[in-house]
Structure 1
Amino acid sequence: MRIRRTLAAVITTAALAGLGLTGAATASATAQGAPSYVTPSQCKQGGGTPAINESGNYCKGGTYDGEQVD
């Protein structure tokens, strides 16, 4: 009887841990899916240089490095 309870507790814990990992993976994928745009002034304030004339219009360097400038 004690073994059954222990086994049930272990299975329940494993199932809940699996759900937690799935939720974390979904949250990180959602956060990365949306494109991010910054203004030229935000790029400069973050320590970067807006490369508006280059293809893609990206911020180079600083906090917003690689973000698209809009």
Structure 2
Amino acid sequence: MNFFRRKRMQSQCFHEWRVRDFCIEYDYSGVRPDPIEFYEIGCQKCGKSRHIDQYQFSRMCSTGMIARDSE
């Protein structure tokens, strides 16, 4: 139950991030369209997802935060 309008406690999840998709969007600034490349990663335990750029992706891979497997 939700007493006194308190937020529900979320279960603590140690995320196991995996790459879901690689996307390219185009941002038109008036001169020419600029491609914006990003990765969509998701946690298979809790279902959360994030969009990260190439720099964040390389940092997370180097620290072992993104699982790399043959699945």
Per the normalisation by structure 1, the TM-score is 0.24
Greater C-alpha radius of gyration = 1
Which structure shows the higher helix fraction? Answer: 1
> Which of 1 and 2 has higher RCO (CA within 8 Å, sep 6+)?
2
